[in-house]
Amino acid sequence: MPTILHINASPRYANSDSLRLARHFIDSVQAAGPESFELETLDLFNDGALPVFGRTAAAAKMAVFSGQDQTPEQINAWESARAVFDQFAAADAYVFNIPMWNAGVPYVLKQWIDIITQPGWSFGFDPEKGYRGLMEGKQALAIHTSGVYAPGVPAAFGSDFSSTFFADWLNFVGIDDATHVRFAPTALNGDVDGTRKVAEAELSDAAFEFAGKLSDVGTLQLIND
């Protein structure tokens, strides 16, 4: 059975516009797809959701790449990071809801990305050909929200380093089948409900194609079994 991993990068839960849209999309996928799927949700702002990737984990990483033995503390740190990556790698498709914070992504999403974006895990490197993403064959849907910024506004109303960074990261790890939907602005907007409905319609349309590709994954899994 195919698996969707939903990564919630908002701490606002019931008050989150991005989370509300993510749930709308997931419900639309369920309605559109003849096949069932497993849904796993990672709430990045839950206490303990992510391990610290600091001095010990960084030393563990360098020990691996230099062929040195890890200390017991480094082994624990590296295994904790690997568990986060394994959850990511096991999924067939991804749904991300990402509110813009200070023109960028929330810090916990960046932490999650820094944990799982490791050579030999999510990307490879060739001295002659450069980087290569290792997460091919997966699809992603990313929802981007922002309170004041919207495409085309004057510079005084903000800049977007959030969606551009995230799209580049998806491509870096090999997920080039990605759809991005924006709901903005959510605050400085004379017709918030109308703008939300446009985003919901776009997500509903995207759900049909998303569900179809999930069904293909499920069929391949049955054949391989």
pLDDT in tens, 28-69: 999 997 678 999 999 999 988 899 999 999 999 999 888 899
Q: How far apart are CA 174 and CA 122, in angstroms?
A: 8
- Can you give the pLDDT at residue 217? 84
Q: Is 17 exposed, middle or buried (0-12, 13-18, 19+ CB in 10 A)?
A: buried
162-194 per-position pLDDT tens digit: 999 999 999 999 999 999 999 999 999 999 999
Average pLDDT over residues 105-128: 96
Alpha helices in the chain (DSSP H): 17-32, 55-66, 72-90, 107-116, 162-172, 192-224
- Can you give the pLDDT at residue 163? 98
Asked if 147 contacts 183 with a C-beta cutoff of 8 angstroms, the reply is no
Q: DSSP letters of 112-178?
A: HHHHH--BTTTEEEETTTEEEES-TT-EEEEEEE-SS--TT--GGG----HHHHHHHHHHHTT--EE
Mean pLDDT of all residues belonging to the chain? 94
Q: Is the pLDDT of residue 224 over 80?
A: no
Provide the whole-model pTM: 0.94
- Can you give the pLDDT at residue 137? 96
Query: Any idea which residue has 């960028």 for tokens?
Result: 104
- Can you give the pLDDT at residue 225? 55
- Can you give the pLDDT at residue 220? 52
Q: Is the pLDDT of residue 139 over 70?
A: yes
Q: How far apart are CA 180 and CA 167, in angstroms?
A: 8
